[in-house]
Amino acid sequence: MYTILKKERLNDLVDFMRIDAPMVARNAKPGHFIILRVDADGERIPLTIAGHDATSVDIIYQKMGYSTVRLGQKEAGDSVEDFVGPLGKAAHIRNKTSVIGVAGGVGAAPLLPQMKAYKEQGAYVRVIIGAKNKDLLILKSQYEAFVDELYITTDDGSMGEKGMVTAPLERLLKETVAEHVVAIGPVIMMKFAAQTAKTYERSVDVSLNPIMIDGTGMCGNCRVTVDGKTRFACIDGPDFDGSNVDFDGLMKRQAYYSDEEHTCKIKLGYHGE
């Protein structure tokens, strides 16, 4: 059992949690993820490490599926059944002097440590965060604290620019000498961000989040097609060069259990949708 040391509500859908997990914290780096099970009947769900100290690990999760909703019902002082990591390859912080980070929704959490790493190595850092509306935007002040330029987009225009993250991204790629893009968020957003970067001949990294079970390369559930080759997101990723990822295939694979997800939500008392 792994104790929840701290819990904060970031907005209606998103929480922050700090978990006591020395064996995960010890070797954690930006880009690594963890797998947790909320309880003894729980699924194994992967979440990116949002930060850590010597003995604890921070996660930020959106309560969108059965297991994240169950996780959200836990409070500080409670514990989760299993918590293992750090998994995956640490983010590859490239030797670039000017980068653009693009985050959609809860993707702002895994992007944060990567952008900090770029800043620490002296890069000029621009970040675009997009969300459905201003209430669902997370980590704005944390980004403001260190980035050189911050851009906000919301679907409804309740904060920043109305529309998608790709609009300011395209502008910046046209108008600046930024060399590299890191895009993390919903697959559809990463797909268009990667396309935009490619159009303007910039390199792009994305962080993929397929369905996983063990997270150690054993089961192959998380396979994605990159450059026409099958890769396992858990051990070859989760970060990949985004210029040749089969995002459409990934979206289909992510949706394979959507009917079952619906069954689970009914169990939680959700109806409709």
Partner 1 sequence: MANKKQPRMKVAEQPPLTRIDNFLEVALGYSYEEAKIEAMRCIDCKKPRCVQACPVGVKIPEFIKHLLEGALDSAFETIYEDNILPSICGRVCPQESQCEGACIMGIKHEPINIGALERFVGDYGREHNVAQSEINAETGRKVAIVGSGPAGLANAAALRKKGHDVTIFEALHEYGGVLTYGIPEFRLPKSIVKDEIDNLKTMGVKLMKNVIVGKSITIEQLKDEGYEAIFVGSGAGLPSALNIPGENYNGVYFANEFLTRVNLMRSQDFPSSATPIKIGSKVGVVGGGNVAMDAARTAKRIGAEEVMIIYRRDMDNLPARREEVEHAMAEGITMNVLHNPVEIYGENYEVTSVKCEKMTLGEKDASGRRRPVPTGEFETFDLDNLIVAIGQKPNPILKSSTPELKTHGWGGIITDEAHQTSMDGVFAGGDAVSGAATVILAMGAGKEAAEHMNHYLKTL
Contact footprint for partner 1 (CB under 8 A):
23-24, 26-27, 37, 41-44, 66-67, 70, 81-87, 213-214, 216-221, 223-225, 230, 235, 246, 248-249, 252-253, 256-257, 260-261, 263-264, 267
One-character DSSP codes across 205-219: EEE-----SSSSSSS
Token pair 């297991």 is at which residue? 67
23 vs 145, which CB is nearer to partner 1? Answer: 23
Cβ nearer to partner 1, comparing 53 with 148: 53
Q: Nearest approach, Cβ of 94 to partner 1 (angstroms)?
A: 20
Q: In the complex with partner 1, which residue's Cβ is closer, 27 or 133?
A: 27
Which has the closest alpha carbon to 223: 205, 204, 249, 259?
249
Q: Which residue has the tokens 């089961």?
A: 219
Closer by beta carbon to partner 1, 163 or else 249: 249
Minimum distance between the CB of residue 28 and partner 1, rounded to whole angstroms?
9
Smallest Cα–Cα separation from 62: which of 135, 147, 146, 160?
135
Distance CA 40, CA 17 (A): 20
Of 14 and 21, CB closest to partner 1: 21
Longest dimension (CA), the chain: 52
Residue 32 CB, shortest distance to partner 1, in Å, is 8
CA distance 33 to 87: 5
